[in-house]
Copies of this chain bind each other. A is one copy, B any other.
Amino acid sequence: MQRRKFLRTTGVGAAAAAASGAIAAPAIAQSAPELKWRLASSFPKTLDTIFGASEIFSKYVAEATDNKFQIRLFAAGEIVPGLQVADAVQNGTVEMGHTASYYYVGKDPCFALDCAIPFGLNARQQDAWMNWGGGREAMADFFKDYSIHAMPCGNTGGQMGGWFRKEIKTVDDLKGLKMRTSGFAGEVLSKLGVVPQQIAGGEIYPALEKGTIDAAEWVGPYDDQKLGFNKVAQYYYYPGWWEAGPQLSAYVNLAKWNELPKSYQAILEAAAAKAHTSMLSKYDTQNPKALRELVAAGTKLTPFTAPVLEACYAKANEVYADTMAKNPRFKKIYEPWKQFRGEEVLWFRVVENTLDNFMARLSASNKI
Q: With A127-B277, A274-B269 known to touch, is A360 a contact of B355 (CB < 8 Å)? A: no
Q: Is A139 an interface residue (CB 8 A)?
A: no
CA distance A274 to B265 in the complex (A): 13
Considering only residues 315-359 of chain A, those with a C-beta below 8 Å from chain B are: 341-359
Of B2, B16, B355, B357, the residue contacting A66 (CB under 8 A) is: B16
- 1/0 per position for A74-103, CB-CB distance to B under 8 A? 000000000000000000000000000000
Complex contact B270–A64 (CB within 8 A): yes
Complex contact B343–A288 (CB within 8 A): yes
Q: With A241-B358, A282-B131, A358-B241 known to touch, is A12 a contact of B67 (CB < 8 Å)? A: yes
CA distance A270 to B59 in the complex (A): 11
- 1/0 per position for A18-52, CB-CB distance to B under 8 A? 01100000000001101000000000000000000
Contacts of A288 in B (CB 8 A): 343-344, 346-347
Of B64, B67, B239, B348, the residue contacting A15 (CB under 8 A) is: B67
Q: Is A253 an interface residue (CB 8 A)?
A: no
Q: With A16-B66, A281-B124 known to touch, is A313 a contact of B352 (CB < 8 Å)? A: no
CA distance A282 to B306 in the complex (A): 32
CA distance A358 to B241 in the complex (A): 10
Contacts of A261 in B (CB 8 A): 66
Complex contact B269–A267 (CB within 8 A): no
Contacts of A363 in B (CB 8 A): 342, 345-346, 349
Across the interface, name the chain B residue whose C-beta is closest to A265. Answer: B63
Q: Is A196 an interface residue (CB 8 A)?
A: no
Complex contact B364–A349 (CB within 8 A): yes
Across the interface, name the chain B residue whose C-beta is closest to A356. Answer: B353
Contacts of A71 in B (CB 8 A): none
Q: Which of A124, A301, A306 has the most CB of B within 10 A?
A: A124
Complex contact A130–B347 (CB within 8 A): no
Complex contact B350–A301 (CB within 8 A): yes
Complex contact B342–A281 (CB within 8 A): no
Complex contact B266–A63 (CB within 8 A): yes
Complex contact A285–B66 (CB within 8 A): no
Q: Is A276 an interface residue (CB 8 A)?
A: yes
Complex contact B158–A352 (CB within 8 A): yes
Across the interface, name the chain B residue whose C-beta is closest to A49. Answer: B132
Q: Is A190 an interface residue (CB 8 A)?
A: no
Complex contact B266–A60 (CB within 8 A): yes
- 1/0 per position for A277-316, CB-CB distance to B under 8 A? 1101110111111011000000001010010010001000
Contacts of A351 in B (CB 8 A): 157-160, 220, 238-240
CA distance A352 to B360 in the complex (A): 11
Complex contact B220–A31 (CB within 8 A): no
Comparing A3-11, A170-178, A197-205, A225-233, the segment that makes contact with chain B is A3-11
Complex contact B347–A291 (CB within 8 A): yes
Complex contact B16–A68 (CB within 8 A): yes
Q: Is A128 an interface residue (CB 8 A)?
A: yes
Across the interface, name the chain B residue whose C-beta is closest to A5. Answer: B6
CA distance A67 to B12 in the complex (A): 9
Contacts of A183 in B (CB 8 A): none
Task: List the 9 closest pairs (A to B, CB-CB), nearest first.
Answer: A63-B266, A158-B351, A270-B270, A128-B284, A132-B285, A288-B343, A273-B274, A128-B281, A239-B355
